[in-house]
């Protein structure tokens, strides 16, 4: 079985049992819902104990449970064709340079981690149509300056 086949099996079971992602993530627990759903969709991995819990919930074989613990091949072709995913791509393409400039001005020369990272999604009621609020928090990782001489900073953390 390939990982894509397991993802399809999980989605079929979800549909058959009329489960929501909220229900599934509450039953599995242990991690952010974004990480649990990401693992079930084949983009993340589950720790062994959570893979066993998911296996019990979905009635998976031992081999299928082990597949949930393997590091996956992540990502997708770019740009994405799904309209919702494309809007995120568009947000980065249009606003990314400004986000980069503002982060660098505040923190220095580096990146925001997508590994040491939290993401929360909330629904905000609004009379003109409910809004999606996403809050991202990633560790700042300064670039390391190799071969720096004395008096030259070791990394890109903003100098005061």
Catalytic residues, by residue number, are 87, 90, 113
Residue 141: strand pairing partners: 111
Report in angstroms the alpha-carbon separations of 97 from 38, 78, 142.
27, 18, 18
Q: Phi/psi at 146 (nearest 5 deg)? A: -80, 145
Q: Where are the alpha helices (DSSP H) in 74-147?
A: 83-107
Closest CA to 10 of 60, 45, 76: 60
Q: List the one residue out of 39, 115, 29 whose CA is nearest residue 72.
A: 39
d(Cα 135, Cα 84) in Å, to the nearest integer?
A: 17
């Amino acid at each position: 079985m390939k990982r894509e086949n397991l993802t399809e099996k999980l989605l079929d079971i979800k549909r058959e049992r009329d489960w929501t992602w909220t229900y599934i993530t509450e039953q599995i627990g242990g991690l952010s819902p974004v990480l649990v759903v990401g693992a079930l969709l084949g983009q993340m991995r589950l720790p062994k104990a959570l893979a066993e819990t998911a296996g019990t919930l979905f009635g998976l074989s031992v081999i299928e449970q082990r597949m949930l613990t393997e590091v996956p091949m992540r990502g997708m072709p770019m740009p994405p064709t799904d309209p919702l995913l494309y809007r995120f791509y568009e947000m980065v393409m249009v606003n990314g340079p400004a986000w980069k400039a503002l982060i660098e001005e505040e923190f220095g020369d580096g990146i925001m981690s997508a590994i040491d990272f939290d993401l929360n999604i909330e629904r905000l009621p609004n009379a003109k149509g409910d809004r999606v609020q996403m809050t991202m928090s990633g560790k700042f990782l300064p670039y390391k300056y190799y071969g720096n001489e004395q008096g030259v900073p070791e990394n890109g953390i903003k100098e005061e």
